[in-house]
Amino acid sequence: MGRAADPSRMSDTCIFCSIVDGEIPARTVYETDDVLAFLDANPLALGHTLVIPKTHAERVGDLDADLSSAVFDAVSEITPEVEAAVDADGANIGINDGEAAGQEVPHVHVHVVPRFDGDGGAPIHAVAGERPDLADEELDAIAADVSAAIDG
């Protein structure tokens, strides 16, 4: 098991920081110095697992590059093992980033939701609202805006 996270980078009021601290119990399945994975307490499917950075960060964009890499390394490492453990046929992997996207716990967490042939669920395409019907020029303009924002 890894070391405790740096207390100066934790939140006193965050439930997932409390899990990292050991103040709240969790069904931990994986731990490194930087990352913790535990079963979701209200699972959408058998084996539903949450992967979190041990230090508090609310939104994906708040993660520094090292922590972001550590979280995704953990996701890619454990997803096949979670699937195997519950005999799943696949998994949806996703993050609710912000309240508008359904984020309830304000500490970045990656959902690994095992999927089973014929389970009646939906692909990740089902998460958004009504699809916009965009012309090519509109898509071009959005791509330019996003690219410019990233170049900042």
42 forms part of the interface with ligand AMP (CB under 6 A): yes
CB of 120 to Zn ion, least distance (A): 33
Q: Which of 2, 7, 24, 140 binds ligand AMP (CB under 6 A)?
A: 24
Residue 56 interacting partner from Zn ion, ligand AMP, none (CB closer than 5 to 8 Å by kind)? Zn ion
Q: Are 48 and 112 in contact (CB under 8 A)?
A: yes
Tokens at residue 126, please? 């089902």
Residue 142 and residue 147: Cα distance in Å, rounded? 8
What contacts 141, CB < 8 A, 6 or more positions away? none
- Name the minimum Å distance from CB 147 to ligand AMP: 28
Q: Which is nearer to ligand AMP, 11 or 96 (CB)?
A: 96
Side-chain half-sphere CA neighbours of 22 within 13 A: 7
Q: What distance lies between CA 118 and its chain's CA centroid?
A: 24
Q: Which residue is nearest to Zn ion (CB)?
A: 14
From candidates 102, 119, 134, 144, binder to ligand AMP by CB under 6 A: 102
85: left (phi over 0), alpha (psi -120 to 50) or beta: alpha
Please give the Cα distance from 20 to 57 (Å, whole number).
13
Report what 104 binds from Zn ion, ligand AMP, none; CB cut-off 5-8 Å by kind: ligand AMP
15 touches ligand AMP by CB under 6 A: yes
Give the binding site for ligand AMP (CB under 6 A).
15, 24, 26, 40-42, 50, 96, 102-105
